[in-house]
Structures are given as structure tokens and as C-alpha cells.
Amino acid sequence: MTTPTSTDVLVVGAGPAGSAAAAWAARAGLDVVLADAAMFPRDKTCGDGLTPRAIGEMQKLGLEDWLRAHTVNQGLRAHGFGQTLLLPWPGPQSPGSALPDWGSAVARTELDDHLRTVAIKSGAQAIDGARAVGVRREGGRVAAVRFRGLDPARPGHEAEIACRWLVVADGVRSPLGKLLGREWHRDTVYAVAGRAYVDSDMSDDPWISSHLELRDEQGELVSGYGWIFPLGNGTVNLGAGTLATSSRPAEVAIKPLMQTYADTIGDDFGLAGPLRMATSALLPMGGAVTNVAGPNWALIGDAAACVNPLNGEGIDYGLETGRFVAEHISSGAGLGEAWRATLVEHYGESFSIARRLAGIATRPKVVAALGPAGMRSDWLMTLALRWMGNLVDEADRDRAARVWRWAGRQSMARDARPPFS
């Protein structure tokens, strides 16, 4: 297919956020180009888990049957401090809530490739191996993005694609976002996380597992948690993440920590063989970025630091922000301050209070003091799952949702730098 020189909507980055944005914009009748620096299928460091919130977004895209052909889980098995609790996904808590009561896990190599295919089938034109290296502006607007790799026959050649609207979905590092002025602030909590794949007898386990008492090689408690997400194919995704801030940086080597974690739980989960495809990443969280939009461009998903500070989840936010930005563009509502206000409206309060709580969790002594008490209470941990798992839907009006929103408002009012500002 001939490489286009212009388009209505140019989406840079074909992860869940970018592919969702491209699919929804194409379904709205817009001409869409979806460009990515990688050749698909490609891998990405991730836990591979799909929470009920992510499932709800994929249902909107028409992917429920595809998901149900993969592993389906019914909730979280929480381990730690001598306790194990089974915490089912809560499902809808109020009339109108869209959250289902089940989750899944799909390796990102497969998930991202499938979502990109959905965007193509919706009408978007996808381009592999095209790296965004510059922008051309006209006033405050982006008139075109310059790419390297649009023509495989001419390595190193650069060419432009002009656009009316630009959606930046190029991940946690967001090189294109940096060109547009994006800045990540590390004074609030961020994560260092790693994942690997390993053979397991519990690959078909109907529960995902989280170990809230994570210890290093010396047996010292680490601020973070480990996870086991069954993939239904004879393997599990095993990972570990630690929390940090600029004042309390993470001082743990993540890959050795994952091996220690695997050695500790190996017998309980029937782990066999070495850890494979072990990778790690640094995660901006909780909207800790500035310059998320301009007159005709917007950052979405990981590029906008839309990652849950309490569990590291970002796929759900990526899918949601992809849909939201397409709605903005197709309705003519504009971007710029309107897009930042949309992010604040949907995520500001929850990100603010979650960042504050996660910041407390960067102190191992606090975790050691509060962890055992929390794990002794099914009620408290069920409530924590709902809050930490981003399972308060905007339609929810029950007491737990009201308390979470009240706490978020109080936290926002005290933030030195609120989310997305």
C-alpha cells in the first residue's frame, strides 16, 4: 500500500491506547494512519493482566468472544504476612455500572497485534517500522510529523505525514511527547517493574495471584509486590514491581528480585524451568506529566502517565483514553486545554489519592506495620481491591465509591502539582 502523505488523524504508537484511538476514529468516518516504530507482532514489558475495567473497554470494541477464548479469571488471590485471601472481582456495584465480574490475561505480543488488526479492520491504515523523529509546527499546531523508515527501500530516509489531528501514544518514554514538551515529574510515586514467562502447573488457575509481602535476597521487605498471572498455555507471567519517588529512589535490582521471588514461590505454583524473556521498565504513574496536549495534539495512555499508582495497571486507561480522544476529535470538541480537562475529570481525583497512598507504601516499615492487619480482614482487602484495582466505575454511587471520590477531592486540594499539571 502506498504510504500516505497526509491524513485526518495521525496516531503514533500502536499499543492498546493507539490502536483503540485509531479504531474509534476510523469507525467515526475519519481518515486514520496508525504508525509504530516496531514491526508487528512485537513484545512489550507488561504483566499481561486485563482487569474488569480493561475487559469492559474491549467489550465495547467487540472483542468479548475473542477474550473468552483465552484464560478467564474470577478475581485476585492475595498472599502475604501468613495469610491468603480469595477476593472475587466485585462486578457492577450500581445501576449503569459497566464493569464486568471477570478478568483475563493475554501476552502483549498477541494482544497488541490483535488490537492493531482491529484498528485496521475498522478502516485505519497501519505502518510498521516508522519512527517519529520530528514535528513541523504552524503556530501552536502540529502540521506534520517527520518519520524515518517510511520507505524500507531507503534506510535512513526521512519523510513527513501531514495531519489535522495528532494522537501521541508512544509509551512510557514517549519520545514524540518529549519533542512536544512533555515532562515527567518524579516527585510523586513511580514504579520499576519487571516480568518474565515461566512454565507452570497452574497456567489454568482461575485466579490471578499477588504477593504483597515481597522480599529480596537478604530477606528484607521491599516496597512493592509480586504477581503470577496464568496465561492458559502452560505458562504464567511472573513479575515484580517496586515503588519509588525522587526522594526515595528504588535501590533494588529488579531481575534478581524476580528470580528470588520465583525461587520463593516456585513449589506453591508448580514453576518449572528458567525465567524466560525477562525484561524491565520504568513507569511514570498517576498523571505525573505536564504538557499533555496542544491545539490539535494529545497524549494518551502511558505517554500521559495514565498508569495506576497502586497496581501498575495501564491497559485499561490506554483503551479508555483512546476512545475518549477519538470522541473529542470526531465531535469537533477540540484538544488543548479541553483534553487536559478530560483527563483530570476522569482520573484526577483517583490518581491523586492513589499517588498519596502509594507514596506511603514506599516506606517498608509502614508496609511491615500495616500489612499484617490488612491481610487479616477480608472486608478491608475487598475494599482495597476495588480501590486499588480501579474498579470504581463513574456510575457507582455506593458508599465505597463516595468515600473514594471524597478522598480524591481532598487529596487534589492539597497537591502541590495535581495530575496532568
Residue among 407, 284, 287 nearest 357 (CA): 407
Nearest to 105 by CA among 224, 218, 199, 230: 230
pLDDT at 360: 83
pLDDT per position as a tens digit, 246-304 = 777 777 889 999 999 999 999 999 999 999 999 999 999 999 999 999 999 999 999 99
Q: What is the pLDDT of residue 260?
A: 96
87-91 contacts: CB < 8 A, separation 24 or more?
87/378, 87/381, 87/382, 87/385, 89/51, 89/52, 89/391, 90/382, 90/385, 90/386, 90/391, 91/52
Produce one character per residue of 218-246: b if its CB has 16 or more CB atoms within 10 Å, e if not: eeeebbbbbbbbbbbeebbbbbbbbbbbe
Amino acid in position 268: D
Q: What is the pTM of this model?
A: 0.95
Pairwise CA distance, residues 411 & 298, whole Å: 26
pLDDT at 139: 87
Give the pLDDT score at 326.
98
All three cell numbers of 314: 495501564
User: pLDDT at position 354, please?
Assistant: 92
Residues 257/242, Cβ–Cβ less than 8 Å? yes
pLDDT, tens digit, 9 for 90 and up, residues 351-392:
999 999 888 877 777 777 777 877 777 778 888 888 888 888
The pLDDT value given to residue 148: 96
Give the C-alpha separation, 325 to 85, whole Å. Answer: 38
C-alpha grid cell, residue 309: 499508582
Low-confidence ranges of the chain (pLDDT < 70): 1, 94, 96
pLDDT of residue 1: 63
Beta strand pairing status for 32-35 and 6-12?
Answer: parallel
